[in-house]
Amino acid sequence: MIQRPRGTRDFGPAEMARRRAVEQAMREACHRFGFGEVVTPTFEQSELFTLRSGEAIVDEMYVFKDKGDREMALRPEITASVIRFFVNEMSNLPKPLKLYYVGNCFRYENPQSGRYREFFQLGAELIGNENPETDAEVISLAVESLRATGLQDFNVRIGHIGILKSLVLEGIDDQALAGNVLRMIDKGDFDALAQTLETNGVTGNLMESITGIAGTKGSIDVLQSVDETKANEHLRELFEILKLQGIDDCQLDLGIVRGLDYYSGMVFEIDAPRLGAEKQVLGGGSYTLSELFGGEPVFSTGFAIGLDRVMLALEAEKELPEYSPIDAYVVPTEDAMRKYAFAIVAKIRAKGLRADVDLMRRSMSKNLKYASSMAARYAVIVGKDEMAKRSVTLRDMESGEQRQVPADFAADELEKALNAPRKHPLSSVPQRGIP
């Protein structure tokens, strides 16, 4: 038997229905904020990602040569592609540009729960400037997108990579080494940090400042304990705008470094604490990449949500409703009624309802069992006596109640019944459609 590659998954209909519903809720949030969808290729020239995404990502990239001997990479993320697209074709459009995307990404990581080699992101990029308003708009969309999925338990942490970066670069000229130091802070490896700083002559006040900033967390008021910089003002304004939009429970965390190297300003992360080790459901921040890809320098702010982790977080928060692909299942009572069953199912489908009909030539009782195993809300029984009167029987599969309705109105009756309030509101069977 051929197995699927490690770190990848197959998704069945029930799971896909839930994923699509969650994705749709987030897409609608993007639309409410005026973001338009873009799609970019699944693979790009590997250079697109090696230029600035940083060592951590490059080490995990799926790289291959195509038949023309060009080095390609499966995208480890989508931001670089969107900015390449912007530089290639959209740089003359009026700014700000608000773009969002949904797609699969590939990273050769050690697979575990919430960490995959192929995973899915919904992300957004606001291309235009580096004002606090832009950052606020993006964080606001990030929070709205998660709220729209029904997720309740999540924490927003906001920092500013500019503060840490400039302090580290004050003591360390070598960009690569400075990058390593920042990664140690990202991992919370403070022993290695202290040792590296010391070996490179960063001691005393500067060392204290770096470790102090890396550990600065709390409400926006903790900024009072930090030397005044332009970044502080930016963060204060940002928190104010967020508060005015009803987002007032964000934490300041100046130790946020992010796994990608292109950030230059505000950075933020959202965790779902119920997820354990891989609890970060979203990451983002402000950056410039356009000049690196041959365009004018333009500031952008964006984020990406890990769709797979949001699904896990939702599962951890609440029981998911039972999934059913159909509202009604049409059951002929005997062979002579089979072709009529097809006429009935066609009418129900024409009404926009989700309906299926017996294709296995099963007996009536086996068909009812099957309808129940599919969690169909109704069985539509097509019997000889009923057809003689041009009617069918609707059977509520949950309560077992049955009633005869005229065949020509079966679809209307079903629609009414499916839209009526449930007799058992706590039932786990979905009212209609996808949960």
CB of 296 to ligand HAM, least distance (A): 19
- Interacting span for ligand HAM (CB under 6 A) from 296-304, 316-324, 344-352, 409-417: 296-304
- The residue among 272 and 328 lying less far from ligand HAM, judged by its C-beta, is 272
Which x/- pattern, by CB under 6 A, does the window 91-130 give for ligand HAM?
----------------x-x----xxx--x-x-x-x-----
Asked if 260 touches ligand HAM (CB under 6 A), the answer is yes
Q: Verify binding: residue 259, ligand HAM, rule CB under 6 A.
A: yes
220-256 burial by CB neighbour count: b if 16+ within 10 A, else e? beebeebeeeebbebbeebbebbeeeebeebebbbbb
- Cis ω on the peptide bond leading into residue 96 (within 30° of 0)? yes
The residue among 114 and 128 lying less far from ligand HAM, judged by its C-beta, is 114
Q: Output the six-digit token pair for 315.
A: 């599962």
DSSP codes joined into one string, 4-69: PPTT-----HHHHHHHHHHHHHHHHHHHHTT-EE----SEEETHHHHTTS-HHHHHT--EEE-TTS
Backbone angles phi, psi at 33, to 5 degrees: -95, 5
Total residues contacting ligand HAM (rule CB under 6 A)?
25
Binding flags for ligand HAM, 125-144, as an x/- string (CB under 6 A): x-------------------
Q: Which of 48, 235, 304, 376 binds ligand HAM (CB under 6 A)?
A: 304
Q: In one letter, which amino acid is 83?
A: I
Any contact of residue 146 with ligand HAM (CB under 6 A)? no
Shorter beta-carbon distance to ligand HAM: residue 257 or 376: 257
- The interface with ligand HAM within residues 148-207 (CB under 6 A) comprises none
Query: Counting contacts by CB under 6 A, is residue 302 touching ligand HAM?
Result: yes
Regarding 280 and contact with ligand HAM (CB under 6 A), the answer is yes
Is residue 86 involved in binding ligand HAM (CB under 6 A)?
no
CB atoms within 10 A of CB 27: 18
Strand-by-strand arrangement of the 36-37 sheet = 36-37, 97-106, 118-127, 300-306, 280-287, 263-271, 155-160, 251-253, 217-218
The span of 62-70, 210-218, 229-237, 281-289 binding ligand HAM (CB under 6 A) equals 281-289
Strand residue runs (E) in 212-323: 217-218, 251-253, 263-271, 280-287, 300-306
- Which residue, 161 or 341, has its beta carbon nearer to ligand HAM? 161
Q: How far apart are CA 30 and CA 280, in angstroms?
A: 20
Interface residue list for ligand HAM (CB under 6 A): 77, 79, 107, 109, 114-116, 119, 121, 123, 125, 259-260, 280-285, 302-304, 306, 308-309
